[in-house]
Each structure stands twice: as C-alpha cells, then as structure tokens.
Amino acid sequence: MRCCGICRAIYIRIDGKPVFIVYRADLIPDIAETVEAWRDEAEKLGFPGIYLMATQSFQIGDPTGMGFDAAVEFPPLGVTLPDILTKQSNVRPDFRGHVFDYEQAADHAVSRADVPYKLFRTAMLSWDNTARKQQGGNTFHNFGVTAFSQWLSALGHRVMASPAHGPDEKLVFVNAWNEWAEGAHLEPDRKHGFGYLAAARAAMAPFDRASLSPVPVLPAVARAPFAVILHLHYPDLWPEIRESLARLGPHDLYVSVTDPHAVALVQADRPEAFVEWVENRGRDIRPFLSLLRRIRPLGYTALPRTPGLA
C-alpha cells in the first residue's frame, strides 16, 4: 500500500481520515483482521486513520461488527416495494423481471426510521438494468427529476439535523454518477441535458456552511406557562411577528424555519428560543405537529397558535 501524495489533497476526509467505501464487504475473508490492517497502514502513511464505510448491499446491515465506522445506503438494494408489473401495458410476454414505482421508493427512503449505528443516506436516480439483465431486469417506473431532487433534499435535511453526524459527516450520496447500463447517471444525457446535475445542485444549495449550526436541543422543563409554536417560512415577516410576540406576555417560543439563515435571524432577537431548520415539506402543519408532539411532556397549560403569524 503506497501513497503518492495526491490522495492527501483529493480524498474526502472525516476528522482527517480518508473515506474508503467497500462494496460487498461480507465477501472478504477475515474482514475484521483486514480492516485492522488497513487502519495500521493508513497510520504508517501519516494519516490519523482511515474512515471505513460498508455499502448496504444484499445482506449487510450494521457493519460495525466487522470493524467499519459506518454504513452507506445503496438503493435500489434494501428498498422493499410492491411489484407493479401487472399494472403496466406493452410488457413483453417473456419478461421475468420486476417493475417498481420510483415515487414510492423515494417516499420509503425519506420516511426510513433512524438506526442505532452510523448510516449515510443515498438518493437514487432512475433505475433500469434491463440493458444488463435483459428480460430478468428491474425497472423503476414514474421517475422524475423533481422527485429525485426532493429525495436528495430530504436526505440533506436529515443529515444536517442529525446529532449523530459530526460536522465532517454531513454527507449524502447519489447512486450513481455513470451507471449507464443500469439507467442511473448524473452525467448529462440527450433527454434531460444537464437536468440531473441542475436538480442535484438545487437540492444541495441550502446546505452551505451557514447551515452547520449546532443541532438545537429542546429544554428539559417549561420556563413559562404557555408556549408559542411558529413556522417561519418567510424570514422577511420576522420583524412584524417579533412585535406581535412581544405583546403576548411571558411565553416559551418554538420556531421552525425552512431557510437556514433564518435561524440566526430569530436567535439574534430571541436567543432563548428553540429554533429548528426543517425541510420545506408538509407546509406548516408537519413541523407544527412535530414540535407539538415533542413539547407535550413539558406540561404547558396552553399552546396557542396564531395562523396569521405563519
């Protein structure tokens, strides 16, 4: 194992450690011992170590027992959906593969519950591997650039809000850059041009360094008799809302925002407020219900909400 020096400049690093992803780690004999050897070699080359991820391919779930630091999703593997082949028309009689709904796959991924180990999330582009597997391939129907962008954006919000992922671990992945034989590629094509890349850029645009603020922590006890839950979608309305809140008397303030820069805007005037950056999905109802559920144990006697403020 040699290092030419180039990898020191181009590797994605987490805590100074180059990131290395292994596919089908379960097929490597003596994987735990192999992982230790990789770590030792990385340190001999002057790195503080190596950050190892295992793709969640086939039977791999939690890879920490094999010595890995984390897992990374690899859709469509691991995505369980009903087959909609019988609902399709113009299918060859000898087709033995499966057809799934892309939007269902995106919804399934976005709603996936957190796991007790470090997991990096992946959004998938269109998928059709019949070029490789012919009549035994798998196809995802109803793919759209907008759905892909929403999937990627949702995963971005998840990792940015995750206390389990440190500042260097705010990463999401895309499958794939150029899997042409499987119909999954970010590279430009004749149909969409640069549409895939533009969609990915738009989805990731809000996640700059300004959004790397600490994950907010809910207070352990109520500090006032009642709470105000506010969804601030338009930051320019904050001065007017701030004046209205000042007339309410003592209250605890819980704010959800869809613009990461609005976090600092609210905290500058109300440093004691709980301010949470959320995905722009479900309008104001979804973040309101989420906050309401989480603060109920604090025992507020009233939870007024003024629709005109949101």
Q: What is the pLDDT of residues 268-298, one digit of tens each?
A: 999 999 998 887 777 778 888 889 999 999 9
pLDDT at 163: 85
pLDDT at 157: 86
pLDDT of 173 strictly over 50: yes
Closest to 94 (Cα-Cα) out of 137, 128, 131, 142: 137
Average pLDDT of the residues of the chain: 88
pLDDT at 6: 44
pLDDT at 308: 47
3-class secondary structure, 70: strand
Higher pLDDT, 301 or 41: 41
In DSSP terms, which residues pair with 119 in a beta bridge?
71
pLDDT of 1 strictly over 70: no
Burial class (CB in 10 A: 0-12, 13-18, 19+), 133: middle
The whole model's pTM is what? 0.75
Residue 191 banded pLDDT, cuts 50, 70, 90: confident
pLDDT of 303 strictly over 70: no
DSSP assignment of 76-103: TTT------GGG-SS--TT--SEEEEHH
Once rounded to an integer, what is the mean pLDDT over residues 48-73?
94
The angle subtended at Cα 11 by Cα 5 and Cα 13, nearest 5°, is 120
Closest to 116 (Cα-Cα) out of 83, 149, 164, 78: 164
Q: How far apart are CA 100 and CA 38, in angstroms?
A: 39
Residues 6+ apart with CB under 8 A from 192: 145
3-class secondary structure, 21: strand
pLDDT of 10 strictly over 70: no
In DSSP terms, which residues pair with 71 in a beta bridge?
54, 119
What are the residue boundaries of the structural domains of the chain, listed by start?
A: 7-211, 227-309
pLDDT at 213: 63
* Residues 46, 49, 55, 60, CA torsion sign: positive
Tens digits of residue pLDDT in 204-247 = 888 875 556 666 788 889 999 889 999 999 999 999 999 999 99
Once rounded to an integer, what is the mean pLDDT over residues 66-81?
93
pLDDT at 162: 87
Gyration radius of the chain's alpha carbons: 23
Q: How far apart are CA 92 and CA 123, in angstroms?
A: 29
